Structure 1
Amino acid sequence: MKKAIIHEQLILQFDAFADYIQNLSVHRFTVSPEGKWSAGQQLDHLIKSTKPVNSALALPRMLLRFWGAPKRPTMTYDEIVTEYQQVLSAGGHATKMYMPAIVEGYQREALLKQFIQQKDRLLQLLRQWHEDDLDKYLLPHPLMGKITIREVMYFTIYHTQHHLQSLKQRDQLNQSWSDQLERIFQ
């Protein structure tokens, strides 16, 4: 995937997630019937996941050499997705740094603003990178080890999409949201 396509996909996935969150009721934003993260917590998690990427992309290239140089070709988008899914299947989960706090309904607008700010910063920083340099530098990923900048961008696209799909799947259950809650409290 070329940088221009990565840029487009980041916009598409971040905006789709933000639109979905914006249209949830306060109840659906704050509660998760399955005992998993609420929509608000998933939003908080995505903010926490994007901030360190932005910080790393803003570093001088010389400092990025701290993590070494790639010793293999950059994986494709599909290979990154497959590897991440395998990590999750093997029990991988967010490390403490990326765990969301409890999120209340009144926090939605502020969190959405932070989310969009992180997206805008990510896009701004990505524009400053040359196409070839995306494959020359590594960043540490807490679950996947050292991956190239391009692979980090692939991961960020998929990770955002993954969390949106998780929320949408809850809505596709055959029971209404209130029926799911009632079942839990029985």
Structure 2
Amino acid sequence: MQKPEIQQLLDKSFSDFTTFIGSLSDHRFIVSPEGKWSAGQQLDHLIRSAKPVNKALSMPRFFLRWFGKPAKASRSFEEIRDVYRDRLQHGAVSTRPYIPPVTEIGQRETLLKQFDQQKSKMIGLVGNWDEPELDRYQLPHPLLGKLTTREVLYFTIYHNYHHLHTLQLREKPEQPWPTQLERVIF
């Protein structure tokens, strides 16, 4: 993928998540059946995940040399997705800095605003990189090890969709929300 496509997919992945969150009732935003993260917590987690990416993208390239040079070419979006799925299937979980606290309904608008700010910042920062630089520098990822900058952007796109898909599956349109809650409670 080239930079314009990456920027477009970043925009879409953030926007699709925001649209879905906006469709949820207040109750469904803060409550989660089966002990999983609520939609609000998932939103907070994605903000926490985007911030270090934006920080790295905004750093002078000189400082990024500290993480070393990539030993191989950037992998494809599909390869990054598959490696992440494999790690999750083998028990990998979010590390402490990315675990969100319980969210309250009063945080919804603030979190959505922060998420949108992270999206805009990331898309803008990617514009400051040229194509070869995306493959020339690498960054540490808590579950996947060192990734090239391009791979980190691929991961961010997939990560947003992974959490969106998790929430969409939870909705189970064939069962109304009260029925789902009753099933979990009793």
Q: Quick check: TM above 0.5? A: yes
Indicate the residue corresponding to 2:62 in structure 1: 62
The structural deviation recorded for 1:173 is 5.7
The structural deviation recorded for 1:184 is 2.1
Q: Deviations over 1:153-178 (max 9, x none)?
A: 00000000100011111112642221
Indicate the residue corresponding to 2:18 in structure 1: 18
Indicate the residue corresponding to 2:116 in structure 1: 116
Whole-Å Cα distance in 2 between the matches of residues 11 and 21 of structure 1? 15
Counterpart amino acid of residue 2 in structure 1: Q
Whole-Å Cα distance in 2 between the matches of residues 113 and 17 of structure 1? 13
Whole-Å Cα distance in 1 between the matches of residues 184 and 138 of structure 2? 44
Matched, 1:42 2:57: no
Q: Deviations over 1:91-146 (max 9, x none)?
A: 00100000011001111100000000000110111000001100000000000000
Indicate the residue corresponding to 2:76 in structure 1: 76
Task: Find the residue that maps to 1:52 and give its secondary structure.
Answer: helix
Whole-Å Cα distance in 2 between the matches of residues 147 and 80 of structure 1? 9
Indicate the residue corresponding to 1:101 in structure 2: 101
Whole-Å Cα distance in 2 between the matches of residues 18 and 174 of structure 1? 23
The structural deviation recorded for 1:81 is 0.3
Q: What is the TM-score of this pair, normalised by structure 1? A: 0.98
Whole-Å Cα distance in 2 between the matches of residues 87 and 51 of structure 1? 22
Give the total of aligned pairs. 186
Whole-Å Cα distance in 1 between the matches of residues 82 and 28 of structure 2? 30
Whole-Å Cα distance in 1 between the matches of residues 138 and 110 of structure 2? 32
Task: Give % identity.
Answer: 52
Indicate the residue corresponding to 2:92 in structure 1: 92
Structure 2 unaligned runs (5+)? none
- Aligned CA RMSD, in angstroms, stands at 0.9
Whole-Å Cα distance in 1 between the matches of residues 143 and 164 of structure 2? 20
Whole-Å Cα distance in 2 between the matches of residues 153 and 176 of structure 1? 36
